[in-house]
Amino acid sequence: MMERKPQTTTRAVLDAAADRLRAAGIEPARREAEWLIEHVTGRSRLDLMTHPDAGVEAEVCERLESLLQRRLTREPLQYLTGEAGFFGHVFLVTPDVLIPRPETELLVEWILGRESLDHGVLDLGTGSGCIPVSVRLARPDVACTAVDVDGKALAVARENAARLGADIRFVEADMLDGGLADRLAGPFSVVVSNPPYIGREEQSSLQPEVVEHEPHRALFAEGDALRFYRHLAHAAVDLLVDGGWICLEIHADRGAEVVALLQESGWEGVRLHQDLAGRDRMVCARRGP
Ligand code: GLN
């Protein structure tokens, strides 16, 4: 008679995974372990906690092991599961797009608070499409256009829009391209962007998850950390209606510089906003008549 191998329990799998993550300095280790196990088993966190003695099949353990190995080499959890939460929606993410950050939700909230969005919203450097998709799902009457220079990123954004049921116009183009206004059916009520803003000198201080796995083209502003802001301070004027708004995510240390840049370029009502952690995170300004 064949002997049945005793199955590993949920508790044992969870404890072992959490211990290995903790030993590698990956925190919160237990929560990360739960996320991975939720992903491979399809069970909820509540189910994992309330049924710690439930068996885990060998095949599931193998899949978990391969994900754990990747997480131990600092691959971001969101690339392992292929998903990231943003503004209450689940977005697909691949290493071709930046993982949407909670701070960026501030831009969406601010846009949704505008009095008029009649001429639509233009997102420059859309990545996963998290900004326009979230705007459109909250306001299905607002036309949204999303631009990205990277065709692979745009494919992810398109898939997100399709899966979440958001009707968005996508355009593959470089936001630094001088002829952008002619290619887009503007002018718009709002131009929003979370452009690359990290200087190369900061690279060594970034988490390995970020610097070794996220797309450098989406993170780093080569040469001049403010190059996208300098360009948009001029170029966005032609993309906006009179009284239209520009809304830019910024590096927490660059608030004063971006404010000065927009003021010098003739923008009105320039305002610096903080995120929930109290760090400078967004600059918004109005186009004069
Ligand atoms: N707009 C996307 C985001 O906010 C991508 C930004 C980027 O790639 N720099 O996540």
pLDDT value at residue 185: 85
Specify which residues 92 forms β-bridges with: 83
Q: CB 201: neighbour CB atoms within 10 A?
A: 8
Q: What does the block give as tokens for 179?
A: 């002829």
pLDDT at 33 > cutoff 70: yes
For residue 236, the CA-to-ligand 1 centroid distance in Å is: 18
Encode burial over 42-66: b for 16+ CB neighbours within 10 A, e otherwise. Answer: ebeeeebeeeeeeebeeebbeebee
* Residue 170 CB contacts under 8 Å (≥ 6 apart), including other chains: 126, 145, 146, 147, 148, 154, 157, 158, 161
Give the side-chain half-sphere CA count within 13 A for 225.
Answer: 15
Q: What is the mean pLDDT of residues 239-243?
A: 96
pLDDT at 2 > cutoff 70: no
For residue 44, the CA-to-ligand 1 centroid distance in Å is: 29
DSSP state letter for 54: -
Ligand 1 touching residue 146 (CB < 6 A): no
Q: What is the mean pLDDT of residues 273-281?
A: 94
- By most ligand atoms within 8 Å of CB, the mutation choice from 92, 103, 128, 227 for ligand 1 is 128
Q: CB 120: neighbour CB atoms within 10 A?
A: 22
For residue 128, the CA-to-ligand 1 centroid distance in Å is: 7
Q: Do residues 197 and 228 lie in contact, with contact meaning Cβ atoms separated by under 8 Å?
A: yes
95-148 pLDDT tens trace: 999 999 999 999 999 999 999 999 999 999 999 999 999 999 999 999 999 999
Helix (H) and strand (E) counts in the chain:
13, 11
pLDDT at 4 > cutoff 60: no
- By most ligand atoms within 8 Å of CB, the mutation choice from 91, 97, 210 for ligand 1 is 97
Q: Which domains occur in the chain, in start order?
A: 8-73 (1.10.8.10), 95-286 (3.40.50.150)
pLDDT at 32 > cutoff 70: yes
pLDDT band of residue 288 (cuts 50, 70, 90) is: confident
DSSP state letter for 90: E
42-88 pLDDT tens trace: 999 999 999 999 999 999 999 999 999 999 999 999 999 999 999 99
Closest CA to 225 of 246, 199, 186, 190: 199
Residue minimizing CA distance to atom 3 of ligand 1: 100
**3 state SS of 252:** coil
Q: What does the block give as tokens for 202?
A: 């900061």
pLDDT value at residue 289: 73
pLDDT band of residue 3 (cuts 50, 70, 90) is: low
Residue 219 backbone zone (phi > 0: left; psi -120 to 50: alpha; other: beta): alpha
176-224 pLDDT tens trace: 998 899 999 889 999 999 999 999 999 999 999 999 999 999 999 988 9
For residue 219, the CA-to-ligand 1 centroid distance in Å is: 9
